Amino acid sequence: MDHCPPEYRGYSVMRRHVVVLARFAALHIDASQAAAKRGISDARVTLRDAIAAEVIESAILAWQREDARLQALRREVRLVEDALHGRRFVRRI
């Protein structure tokens, strides 16, 4: 629930059914990651007339960091979803 928008707390189905919550979280993270990737690809074109080049590069770096954070978070949510569906985690060395 911590990785979902606060509005999701208002839906009783998510508080009562963790499988639904996990699916909503996964889709929210996927959409956030898509937005970060779009920000990275569009930044130089859409921001070039508004801010200095070094600020654009800083923004791109922030989006790249956010993308990496979201990628790790998505993996965590995938593991939770798998467990909720009865799939077993097999450690790979």
Does this model's pTM top 0.85? My answer is no
Separation between Cα atoms, residue 80 and residue 3, nearest integer Å: 13
Domain ranges of the chain: 6-84
pLDDT band at 1 (very low <50, low <70, confident <90, very high): low
Digit-coded pLDDT (tens) for 22-39:
999 999 999 999 999 999
pLDDT of residue 90: 79
Is residue 56 left, alpha or beta, with left meaning phi > 0 and alpha meaning psi from -120 to 50? alpha
pLDDT band at 76 (very low <50, low <70, confident <90, very high): very high
Nearest to residue 1, comparing CAs of 12, 32, 15, 79?
15
Q: What is the largest CA-CA distance in the chain?
A: 52
Per DSSP, helices labelled H in the chain are: 12-16, 18-47, 53-84
